[in-house]
Amino acid sequence: MRIKNIFKKKQNLTEDEKAERFWTWFTKSQNRFLFLSEIDGEEKENLLDEFLIELHKFNENIYFEIGGHEDDEKVELIISAEGQMEFFPAVEKLTSCAPDYKSWEIIAFKPAMGKGFSLDYRGKKFDPEKIIFIPLNSKSNPNSIGLNICYPEFEESEEEIFVNGTYLILDTILGEKSTTLDIDYLEVIKTPENIAEYNFGHLSDIAEYIADRKNVC
């Protein structure tokens, strides 16, 4: 006797259908996130968790930021791949499917914010005006852009802190997409004792350096 399977298989949605499902949810829920910056504590954490769960139903490897300035007419919703190039298409797909919202600006990737700032990360201050970079040249790929980022207090035991702090600075100055696509090689090192002998620049000028290199190439 054949037993009839009464359980339906889990529906496999296409990427388009997943994107539509996310924006349907967001459209219904958007007002709860408009004033997220004014909410503290457990309520805020619950909202952030809810948003991330819904976003990860589309793709588990992309993330978000909600913010903007108080005087802006719209709140920014930034969809990010956290610099992981293989997930850039997912970010572009989701944001391209976004409806037009009166109160929201949907942005693909962390945008370039320029310079004139510093940040504190894991107990260390990162100031682009003081951080030195040394351009690197590759004989096998002369058009590539390589950098040594130098810190006088660098220790290998804290390499992760310096690397992450460096990328936070670069993402802010260049934007997520440029940081990932335009820089082919990056290494964080201790500032050489003979740094004056190098043709170095400061990280605050990295956008101009990359633009000049790309124009030459």
**Predicted pLDDT at 6:** 45
CA 211 to CA 204: how far, in whole Å? 13
DSSP character string of 44-106 = HHHHHHHHHHHHHHH-TT-EEEEE--TT-SSEEEEEE-TT-GGGHHHHHHHHHTPPP-SSEEE
Average pLDDT in the 23-38 region? Answer: 94
CA 179 to CA 172: how far, in whole Å? 9
Q: Are residues 124 and 195 in the same domain?
A: yes
Phi, psi torsion values for 20, nearest 5 degrees:
-65, -40
Per residue in 129-151, pLDDT (tens digit) is: 999 999 999 889 988 999 999 99
The answer to whether the beta carbons of residues 177 and 118 sit under 8 Å apart is no
**Predicted pLDDT at 7:** 44
170, pLDDT greater than 80: yes
Per residue in 177-193, pLDDT (tens digit) is: 999 999 999 999 999 99
Residue 167, domain extent: 119-216
**Predicted pLDDT at 20:** 98
21, pLDDT greater than 80: yes
Per residue in 70-93, pLDDT (tens digit) is: 667 899 999 999 999 999 999 999
Q: Which of 50, 75, 108 is the last residue of a domain?
A: 108
Residue 7 lies in a domain: no
The answer to whether the beta carbons of residues 127 and 118 sit under 8 Å apart is yes
Q: Are residues 141 and 97 in the same domain?
A: no
Give pTM, 2 decimals: 0.85
Residue 54 lies in a domain: yes
